[in-house]
A and B are shown apart, each in its own frame.
Chain A
Amino acid sequence: MPVEVLDDGRKRIRAPLDDDDVRELHAGDVVLVSGMVYAARDAAHKRMMQLLDEEQPLPFDPVGAIVYYVGPTPAKPGNVIGAAGPTTASRMDAYTPRLLDRGLKGIIGKGNRGRVVRDSIRDHQAVYMAALGGGGALAALAVKAQEVIAFEEMGPEAVRRLELEDFPVWVVNDAEGRDFYQETVSPWRRDEELPEFLRGTPDHTETNGNGGG
């Protein structure tokens, strides 16, 4: 399905994505995501790498897929899911290029990606989008169905198929290699109040280690 541009400038996409969809998404765009996406985070990624090492199939077809880094809370009776906001993406940096090699097109998480992943996203014509960090309750409202499809024993880290409807995210790293976080901060920085070493736009993404959520 082609990317739909709404009157207010937001863009609406539906998973799976192809190269043409991805090229219409630019750093800073607010995007509404619909369709089936796959929830996977730390433990599931580690296991998926083992499957790739053994040349076994992944729990889902990665070609054109969107992966959402989320470990939801259990659903209360009558609800589809519990809180379902994004977790820190950089913890998946070690795994992401291999999934991009297999055709992954979209990633939803929060926070910075390292240089290797940003380059890999550009080289594979993919897109990394951020959801509202710590907005778990609001995120739940956009999830219309969920089903655990692999690694059930991992509990909140199991791989889930999530049906999203107009889930709001913004594009951080696009297929042209732009990084929205780098572009947004500098206009608001008051360098004259800061110590010398923190002035300008330092790239912290290679040194900042871990994240969570």
Chain B
Amino acid sequence: MTVREIEAAEVTRVVRELCMEICYTVPQEMVDLMKQAREKEESPVARQILDLLIKNQDLAAEGEYPYCQDTGYTVAFLEIGQDVHVTGGDLSDAINEGVRSGYADAFLRGSIVRDPVFDRMNTGDNTPAFIHTEIVAGDQIRVQIDAKGGGSENKSRHRMLKPSDGLEGVKNFVLQAIAEAGPDACPPGIIGVGIGGNFEWAAIIAKRSLMRKVGQPNPDPQIAELEAELLEKANALGIGPQSLGGTQTVLAVHVETMATHIASLPVAVNLECHAHRTGTRVI
């Protein structure tokens, strides 16, 4: 097996392009889901709100103004083929350089402070990115970039449930997170749920589930059924777009599960707002 060399500069180029693109243009499935929500919504006020959000989506796609002023944490998911050798620089530096130049050249907001409690000084260029890597088979690198808004991230929740809490406990925890977030997480949104794993993996798979094409069910029919039930119940909360009441609070629920410990039932709920800004390239 030969090793394929990929220049670090190529990673930088791809990350830069994705950052510049996604903060203005959301994926087509988000456009479609917002239109479907507009059709399904029963509250007249909520329909007006959805019309405005669709208008905002269209305006942003013209390229003058980003979709939202919070252009997010830059979250990078990389699947790196085990037959790849990155040359000409450090991979993390390459990703951060892509963020730095993409955010500057597309007039995006630097929203990252260099430390959380001491001086909270803005780094000015939205670095560092939050990077997840996975080694997979093959000789390609798959790069997915997500500009994750702080408002919905802040409303995300994690809890170590007891195994006896079971599926009901999981459902209740997810619905409670959505109810408590209310208007603060900018509904209508997407709900990423991670069940199982250990403390950190529950959160990681919750985030990873948000990277799936929005609305595409989990391939496991049992989990897909849970996703559909949670979506239905979340929309029974009546929160509605912008929490002004309505039937369309959540556009999709994505669930991922993982093996866990005999003593544990970790659950993480990662909320995402309607500004779902993500894109993927394969190098």
Q: Is chain A's interface secondary structure helix, strand, loop, or mixed overall?
A: loop
The segment from B3-11, B82-90, B149-157, B262-270 found at the interface with A is B149-157
Interface range for A: 35 or more
A187's contact among B52, B151, B238, by CB below 8 Å, is which?
B238
Closest chain A residue, CB of each to CB of B248: A188
B149's contact among A141, A204, A213, by CB below 8 Å, is which?
A213
Most buried by B among A134, A135, A180, A207: A134
Question: Are A212 and B151 CB-contacts (below 8 A) given A136-B69, A154-B122, A157-B122?
Answer: yes
A184's contact among B45, B69, B273, by CB below 8 Å, is which?
B45
B111 touching A111, Cβ below 8 Å: no
A84 to B175, CA, bound (A): 30
Closest chain A residue, CB of each to CB of B189: A134
B255 interfacial by beta-carbon distance below 8 Å: no
A202 to B181, CA, bound (A): 12
A135's contact among B52, B107, B111, B237, by CB below 8 Å, is which?
B52
B161 interfacial by beta-carbon distance below 8 Å: no
Q: How many residues of B contact A (CB 8 A)?
A: 62
A74 touching B107, Cβ below 8 Å: yes
A79 interfacial by beta-carbon distance below 8 Å: yes
The segment from A117-125, A159-167, A190-198 found at the interface with B is A190-198
A132 touching B172, Cβ below 8 Å: no
B237 touching A137, Cβ below 8 Å: no
Closest chain A residue, CB of each to CB of B232: A193
A138's contact among B52, B124, B151, B184, by CB below 8 Å, is which?
B52
Interface residues of B in 104-146 (CB under 8 A from A): 107-111, 120, 122, 124
A184 to B59, CA, bound (A): 28
Closest chain A residue, CB of each to CB of B179: A198
A181's contact among B64, B68, B69, B243, by CB below 8 Å, is which?
B243
A156 interfacial by beta-carbon distance below 8 Å: yes
- Residues of chain B with a CB closer than 8 A to A2's CB: none
A188 touching B245, Cβ below 8 Å: yes
- Residues of chain B with a CB closer than 8 A to A212's CB: 70, 149-154
B154 touching A138, Cβ below 8 Å: no
A-B contact number at CB 8 A: 206
Question: Are A156 and B183 CB-contacts (below 8 A) given A138-B52, A197-B172?
Answer: no
A184 touching B240, Cβ below 8 Å: yes
A198 touching B175, Cβ below 8 Å: yes
- Residues of chain A with a CB closer than 8 A to B150's CB: 212-213
A185's contact among B49, B181, B238, by CB below 8 Å, is which?
B238
A202 touching B179, Cβ below 8 Å: yes
B65 touching A190, Cβ below 8 Å: no
Question: Are A184 and B65 CB-contacts (below 8 A) given A87-B70, A155-B122, A189-B236?
Answer: no
- CB of B56, distance to nearest CB on chain A (Å): 4
A194 touching B151, Cβ below 8 Å: no
B42 interfacial by beta-carbon distance below 8 Å: yes
A82 touching B107, Cβ below 8 Å: yes
A137's contact among B43, B56, B70, by CB below 8 Å, is which?
B56
- CB of B133, distance to nearest CB on chain A (Å): 26
B101 interfacial by beta-carbon distance below 8 Å: no
B52 touching A132, Cβ below 8 Å: yes
- CB of B246, distance to nearest CB on chain A (Å): 5
A211 touching B175, Cβ below 8 Å: no
Closest chain A residue, CB of each to CB of B239: A185
A204 to B56, CA, bound (A): 29
- Residues of chain A with a CB closer than 8 A to B179's CB: 198, 202, 204
- CB of A206, distance to nearest CB on chain B (Å): 10
A70 interfacial by beta-carbon distance below 8 Å: yes
8 A-B pairs besides A83-B60, A112-B182 with CB distance below 8 A are A110-B151, A111-B151, A132-B242, A134-B149, A136-B66, A137-B59, A138-B59, A194-B237
- Could you list some 23 contacts between A and B, CB below 8 A? A70-B69, A73-B66, A79-B64, A83-B60, A83-B68, A85-B70, A110-B184, A112-B184, A133-B273, A134-B56, A134-B68, A155-B110, A181-B244, A184-B45, A184-B240, A184-B243, A188-B239, A194-B175, A197-B172, A204-B179, A207-B180, A212-B152, A213-B70
